[in-house]
């Protein structure tokens, strides 16, 4: 009986573990955005370094083939390696609520879409 009671108490406490977290603060969201931007930049740098390594390997292959007297197929034309440059994060400007478009349009504010007649009077009766 005690084991059953302990199991029931443990099962009753499980939903507390699934409690909803509060929304992140503005500072935490800004840090997360900057971290995401830095991760994207790091991926671009990794792709640039991989492109350079592939170019070096291809150049060495063609040099070895030329030294051996072989004529390899011509290389496939691809886009050149693009250097992503140094990391520079520009924080987006926060728009005030009035310019964010989150409220009613100006026309609705001056002339509300509602009418003075109650909804019950405006519906046709069967």
pLDDT for the residue 56: 95
Please indicate, yes or no, if residue 122 is contained in any of the structural domains. Answer: no
CB-CB contact of 51 with 81 (8 Å): yes
Percent of the chain at pLDDT exceeding 70: 71
**Residue bearing the bigger pLDDT, 118 or 50:** 50
**Average pLDDT rounded to a whole number, residues 74-97:** 85
Please indicate, yes or no, if residue 110 is contained in any of the structural domains. Answer: no
Give the angle 66-71-73 at the CA atoms, nearest 5°: 120
pLDDT for the residue 94: 75
Rg over CA atoms, the chain: 32
- Structurally, the chain folds into a number of domains equal to 1
Please indicate, yes or no, if residue 20 is contained in any of the structural domains. Answer: no
Please indicate, yes or no, if residue 62 is contained in any of the structural domains. Answer: yes
Residue positions counted in the chain: 126
pLDDT for the residue 12: 73
pTM above 0.75, yes or no: no
The rounded distance, in Å, linking the Cα atoms of 91 and 55 is: 35
Q: What are the tens digits of pLDDT across the range 27-51?
A: 999 999 999 999 999 999 999 999 9
Please indicate, yes or no, if residue 61 is contained in any of the structural domains. Answer: yes
Q: For residue 42, what are the domain limits?
A: 26-68
Question: Which residue, chain included where needed, has tokens 């390899």?
Answer: 72
């Amino acid at each position: 009986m005690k084991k059953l009671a302990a199991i029931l108490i443990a099962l009753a406490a499980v939903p507390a573990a699934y409690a909803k977290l509060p929304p992140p603060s503005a500072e935490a969201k800004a840090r997360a955005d900057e971290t995401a931007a830095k991760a994207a930049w790091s991926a671009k740098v990794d792709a640039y370094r991989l492109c350079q390594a592939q170019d070096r390997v291809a150049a060495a292959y063609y040099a070895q083939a030329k030294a051996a007297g072989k004529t390899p197929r011509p290389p496939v034309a691809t886009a050149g390696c693009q250097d992503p440059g140094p990391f520079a994060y520009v924080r987006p400007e926060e728009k005030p609520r009035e310019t964010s478009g989150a409220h009613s349009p100006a026309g609705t504010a001056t002339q509300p879409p509602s009418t003075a007649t109650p909804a019950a009077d405006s519906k046709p009766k069967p």
